[in-house]
Structure formats: C-alpha cells, structure tokens
Amino acid sequence: MAYLSSRNAFRKNFISWWLICLIIQTIIIYQYDFSFVQSFTDAFISNALLCACCLQLVNNMRYYLPRREKYWYVFIISAGLGGLCLLLSRWMLSGIFRADTVYVTFLKASVSIRFGFNFLSVGCIAMLSLLWFTQEEQSQIAQRRTETEKLTRDAELFKLRQQLQPHFLFNSLNSISALAGSQPEKARHMIQQLSDFLRGTLRKEEQQWIPLKEELHYLELYLDIEKVRFGHRLQTITNYDENIAGFSVPAMLLQPVVENAIKFGLYDTIDAVTITIDAHVSNRQLAITISNPFDPETTNTSIGTGFGLSSIQRRLFLLFARNDLLQTKAENNIFTTILIIPQVNDKSNTN
C-alpha cells in the first residue's frame, strides 16, 4: 500500500514538472515576439518528446539498475537522450514552421540552450529514478530477509518443541512396560493419560501462543502421567490468580521445566517431593516460578540447566530477543526456575 501511494506521488510530481516546464517554455518563447500558437507548439513538442524519453528511462531503470558504472551511465544516457530529443524536436518544428525564417533562425540559435535543458532534465530524472528503484530494491531485500529470518526462527522453535517430546515419551513407555506385568490397571491408566497428553500436543502444534489456563491444564495431563509413575512420592501445588488465566504463554513451555524439576527432585530420593508452580504478573510481565527440593549431597544442580532448560531459554530468546527471561537459583535445598514472559498487546493466542 505504501509502495502504491509513493508511486502515485512520483507520477503526480512528474506530471506537475512537465506542466511547469511547458508553461515556462511557452512564456519564454512568447517573449521573443512569436505568436502564442508557435510558442505553445514549440514548448509542447519539445517537452512531450522530453517526457517520452524520461518515461522510457524510468521504465528501463525498473528492469536494469546500473551498479558501479551508475555515474557514467547517468551522464551518457542524459547526453544521448537529451541530444535525441533535440534532434527530433528541431526536425519536427522546422517542418511545421519552415515558412517562418525568423523562427527557424531562432530554433537554430537556441540549440545549445535546448540541449543543456534536455541534458539537465534527463539527468535529474535518471538520478531520481536510480535512487527510487535502489531504495525499492533494498526495501524488498530487507523484507525478504525478515521473512527468511522469521521462517528460520519458526523452524527452530518447532524443532526445539519436537526435541522435547521423545525424551519424555521414552520414559513414559518404560514406566508402562514396568507396570504392565505387576500392575496392569496402572499401566492401562497411564496409557490413557499418555493418549490424552499426546492428543493435546497434536492440537497445539500450530499454536505458538495459548492462554496460561490452557497451558496449566496441559501441564496437569503431564503430571497425571508422572503421578501414576511415581505414586504418592510426587505432589504438586499450583498457585495463580484467575485474573491472569488469559495471559499468553508460548505453547508447551512449562512441561520441560516441570520435567526437569521432577528429574532432579525425585530421582535421587525415596521420600515424597512437592513441586510448586506459582504464577503472577508484574509490570505487564508474567512470572512463573517452579520450585523443587533437592539433596545437595546427591544432586549436582549445575546440570539442572541441561537440554530442557537451555531449549526453553533459546525459545524465549527467539521470541523476545532477550537472554534474561529464564533464571535459576539453588537456596536452602530448593532449586527454583523462574520464567519471565513479557506480554505484547498485538500477540495472538493462536498465532
């Protein structure tokens, strides 16, 4: 739309320039005591030919933009087209007013002035066209680069999301296999929960953003599977205000973080473990905190920033171009992961 608007403005300015030249040349020739018909005919033919050459030049520039030789190109094309306009206009005007020797003499005497005017006019149009189409080309290149970067970013986001699922799926299938012989009812229940979880995953494949409430519901499906797997040892507490339930979060963001908390909270202990999930909003930023206890003697908290959390950090960077949106800390035998999600007004939940 902006391109069409600027193109229309260019066309209007070009027509205005042509009319101004026509009027000025008519007045100048008329002051040399030639009739209005002669003055207007001279100005009209001269400027019509000049206008045609300039339009042809603009059209050529659309398909060919000189690079290193652009200054020589502008000089040569200006001289060539300016001379061509002069020859054609002189030939046509001499034929029309050949009976008027005074006018023919005037026409011959004004050759240098006419050529200079044609040269400058074509040169100005050539430079403006060169700048115009160069800017348009650079704008198109920038747009293509932006679209390419977006496609690359979306592809990487999709890849990161896909990499997280197999590793959880293998763990669930191993647990189902272990339960199938000793506790078939639990195995069947876990298969049902896994089916619901994967079905929800498929529905979210095309969604980049979803409401917080929907993300937490999806997380509950995952936790139901893990609770079948770990039994009473896994307890969870989720705290959030209903007023922020509609705030947007990247789809499937929390599951790998909670999986990380389960891994480093339950794997090295036989005691019951409670994982806490808190969400609150401050300064138009949604902060989600996931906390889990750990045993400092058996757990190396530095590996808590492995693939799961690093992939989340990468996703947040791709979305917001910030590296400070994922924070971790270990204090008093509690490992805490904090996700900060800025809220953008024009963001769509189904984007």
Looking at the chain, which runs of residues are DSSP E strands? 209-211, 234-240, 248-250, 273-282, 285-293, 326-331, 334-342
User: Are residues 225 and 194 in contact, defined by beta-carbon separation less than 8 angstroms?
Assistant: yes
Q: What pairing do the DSSP bridges indicate for beta strands 234-240 and 326-331?
A: unpaired
Q: What pairing do the DSSP bridges indicate for beta strands 248-250 and 234-240?
A: unpaired
The token pair at 7 is 């193109």
**End-to-end Cα separation, the chain, in angstroms:** 24
Q: What are phi and psi of 79, to 5 degrees?
A: -65, -40
The tens place of each residue's pLDDT in the chain, 351 residues long, gives 444 455 666 677 778 888 888 888 889 888 888 889 888 998 898 888 888 888 888 887 777 777 666 677 778 888 888 888 889 988 998 888 888 888 888 888 888 888 888 888 888 888 888 888 888 878 878 877 777 777 676 666 666 555 555 666 777 787 788 778 777 887 888 888 778 777 766 665 556 788 999 889 888 888 888 887 788 888 999 998 888 888 988 888 888 888 888 888 887 777 888 999 999 998 888 999 999 988 777 665 444 445 578 878 888 888 888 888 999 998 888 899 999 999 765 454 444
**Radius of gyration of the chain from Cα atoms?**
37
Given this model, what pLDDT does residue 160 score? Answer: 58
Domain with CATH 3.30.565.10 in the chain: 183-342
Domain 183-342 falls under CATH 3.40.50.1370: no
Say how far apart CA 30 and CA 58 lie, in whole Å. Answer: 31
Given this model, what pLDDT does residue 349 score? Answer: 42
List residues bridging with 240 in a β-sheet: 279
At 336 the three-state DSSP class reads strand
Q: 């260019």: which residue's tokens?
A: 10
Could you tell me the sign of the dihedral formed by the alpha carbons of 152, 202, 228, 274, in that order? positive
Given this model, what pLDDT does residue 350 score? Answer: 40
Cα 95–Cα 96–Cα 97 angle in degrees, nearest 5: 95
Predicted TM-score of the model (pTM): 0.56
At 323 the three-state DSSP class reads coil
Q: How far is CA 20 from CA 1, 16, 43, 189, in A?
A: 29, 6, 11, 85
List residues bridging with 279 in a β-sheet: 240, 288
Q: How far is CA 131 from CA 32, 64, 125, 223, 327, in A?
A: 38, 13, 10, 61, 48
Given this model, what pLDDT does residue 133 score? Answer: 80
